[in-house]
Amino acid sequence: MDAILFLLFAAIAVISAINLVLQTHPISSALSLIGVMGALAALYLLLGGEFIAAAQLIVYAGAIMVLFVFVIMLLNAGAEVKIRRGPWVKFFGIPLLVAFLGLIGYILQNLFPASEGVQFGGFTHGTALDIGRLLFTSYLLPFEVTSVLILVALVGAIVLARKEID
């Protein structure tokens, strides 16, 4: 059952990711990216990451993608114009990609034997309680630094996107 769920959501993620790369219109790519993120949230749930799955849906699929779609609409971005690329893209790019993935897959199969699988419920410490406790004890300094980073990003975005005053 777990394997079937994994294969289902992995297929959704991979097909959406391929669609993201192949689509020429940015709004189609954005919708594909939402598909990837939704499928990944389901996989996080299978791995026992309740909090991260919820954060993935709210922060990534919600907030960040709304920002992307908003900018696409605002700039009225159309489809890419087709240009001719060199033949090396087709003749080297895709085989190299497949060869790289084959190598990675081979190494990973050898590193992690297939005997132990991911069981739903095999890891139950991904709740908001556990994450919050660790975040405010061991990882307090990174957490505070992150808040400063967010503040800087906020100010930077406003400064960059504001209307020039003559």
Partner 1 sequence: MPQLPIPQSAPISWYLILSAILFALGVAGFLYRRNIITVFMSIELMLNAVNLSFITFSYKLKQVDGHIFSFFVMVVAAAEAAVGLAIILTVFKNRQTLEIDEISSLKN
Q: Name residues contacting partner 1, limited to 11-50 (CB under 8 A).
A: 13-14, 17-18, 20-21, 24, 26, 29-30, 33, 36-37, 40, 43-44, 46-49
Q: Cα torsion for 60, 63, 67, 72, to the nearest 10°?
A: 60
User: Judged by CB under 8 A, does residue 165 bind partner 1?
Assistant: no
DSSP annotation of 77: -
Find the binder of partner 1 among 91, 92, 95, 119 (CB under 8 A).
119
User: Judged by CB under 8 A, does residue 140 bind partner 1?
Assistant: no
For the CB of residue 91, give the shortest distance to partner 1 in the complex, in Å. 14
For the CB of residue 142, give the shortest distance to partner 1 in the complex, in Å. 6
Find the binder of partner 1 among 35, 54, 57, 131 (CB under 8 A).
131
82-111: which residues touch partner 1 (CB under 8 A)?
83, 89, 93, 97, 100-101, 104-105, 108-109, 111
Neighbours of 37 (CB within 10 A): 19
For the CB of residue 50, give the shortest distance to partner 1 in the complex, in Å. 10
Helices 26-46 and 2-22 cross at an angle (nearest 10°) of: 160
Q: Please, how many CA atoms are within 13 Å of residue 60, restricted to the half-sphere of its CB?
A: 18
Assigned token pair, 123: 């890891």
With tokens 């406790």, the residue in question is 133
Q: What are phi and psi of 8, to 5 degrees?
A: -60, -55
